[in-house]
């Protein structure tokens, strides 16, 4: 079985080759800066790990599952990176530090950062459309990813966040209660993590029951990931986290620790991971997916 470090190396190599070489150099530089600055690569690794787990259970070739899932893994990281480039802009979270270095707009300017994000987003779908998986699986994967990244998913979650922060002129600032906070994060963070896992299952040829179980796993994984993110924003440092800590609290943004306190938030995350593992067991799926769940709970950055 491939290790998580092996998957990260595989993703890094593929990402190096993923950008459109014929693009003008200034936009290519900004896209590369936003994409290749390190990071956990959790989403693409989750895609590959899910494809491998399905292949191992179904006794199909691991290499085939991996090669079919790799374009989707890269597409997910391009979309995740675009979202970070845009989130850091002055009109959004106005941050100057990401992955331990200056944010894209600080280095390349606001306008080029907007274009770099646009370029990463649109090129992601070209990668997925041109992959080696059967056409029906690619079409389904494109549909799932577009929904997760768009207005009903990640973009919608960011819109709720902006409204809560009082940054939308046409809507009054609306404080979030616990239910709305969970909905926001299910869209903003969870939707892309769910897509990462389900795309791996789809492209590996999993049946409907398995895809449903993987989706339940990833839903709880995404919730735990966001809760731990909020906890780290309180407990960590700029150096350890690679980004500015304490900004959510300073801006009065709703977080799990603000609503529940640190200890209850950690327990909520642990409960989510326990549910995620039960979903895997129900489908007899393992591979690296339980390890990724444990990593999500114990991570420090």
CATH assignment at residue 149: 1.10.600.10
Name which of 110-124, 140-154, 215-229, 247-261 the model is least confident about: 247-261
- Give me the pLDDT at residue 242, please: 59
Domain membership flag for residue 151: yes
Among the listed residues 122, 87, 71, 101, the one whose alpha carbon sits nearest the alpha carbon of residue 229:
87
- 140 vs 301, more confident: 140
In Å, what is the CA distance from 191 to each residue of 15, 114, 164, 224, 244? 22, 22, 19, 13, 24
Domain membership flag for residue 280: no
Question: Residue 284: left (phi > 0), alpha (psi -120 to 50), or beta?
Answer: left
Domain membership flag for residue 221: no
- Give me the pLDDT at residue 300, please: 83
Q: Is the pLDDT of residue 127 over 70?
A: yes
Domain membership flag for residue 112: yes
Domain membership flag for residue 32: yes
pTM of the model: 0.92
CB 58 within 8 Å of CB 210: no
How many domains, in total, are found in the chain?
1
pLDDT in tens, 68-89: 999 999 999 999 999 999 999 9
- 250 vs 31, more confident: 31
Domain membership flag for residue 166: yes
Domain membership flag for residue 88: yes
In Å, what is the CA distance from 128 to each residue of 43, 90, 158, 229, 254? 15, 31, 24, 29, 35
Whole domain around residue 188: which residue ranges? 4-215
Domain membership flag for residue 182: yes
- Give me the pLDDT at residue 259, please: 87
- 271 vs 164, more confident: 271
């Amino acid at each position: 079985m491939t290790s998580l470090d092996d998957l990260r190396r595989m993703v890094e190599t593929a990402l190096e080759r993923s950008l459109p070489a014929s693009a003008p150099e200034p936009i290519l530089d900004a896209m590369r800066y936003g994409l290749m600055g390190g990071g956990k690569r959790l989403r693409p690794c989750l895609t590959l790990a899910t494809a491998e787990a399905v292949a191992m259970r179904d006794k199909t070739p691991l290499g085939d599952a991996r090669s079919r899932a790799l374009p989707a893994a890269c597409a997910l990281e391009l979309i995740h990176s675009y979202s970070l480039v845009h989130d850091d802009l002055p009109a959004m979270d106005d941050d100057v530090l990401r992955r331990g270095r200056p944010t894209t707009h600080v280095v390349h300017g606001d306008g080029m950062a907007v274009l770099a994000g646009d370029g990463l987003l649109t090129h992601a779908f070209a990668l997925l459309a041109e992959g080696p998986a059967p056409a029906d699986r690619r079409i389904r994967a494109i549909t799932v990813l577009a929904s997760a990244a768009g207005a009903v998913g990640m973009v919608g979650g960011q819109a709720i966040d902006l409204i809560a922060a009082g940054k939308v002129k046409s809507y009054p600032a609306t404080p979030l209660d616990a239910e709305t906070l969970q909905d926001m994060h299910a869209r903003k963070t969870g939707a892309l993590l769910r897509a990462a896992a389900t795309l791996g299952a789809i492209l590996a040829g999993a049946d409907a029951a398995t895809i449903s179980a993987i989706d339940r796993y990833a839903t709880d994984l995404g919730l735990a990931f966001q809760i731990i993110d909020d906890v780290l924003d309180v407990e960590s440092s700029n150096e350890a986290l690679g980004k500015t800590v304490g900004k959510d609290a300073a801006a009065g943004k709703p977080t799990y620790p603000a609503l529940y306190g640190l200890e209850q938030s950690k327990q909520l995350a642990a409960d989510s991971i326990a549910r995620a593992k039960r979903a895997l067991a129900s489908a007899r799926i393992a591979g690296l997916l339980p390890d990724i769940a444990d990593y999500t709970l114990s991570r420090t950055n």
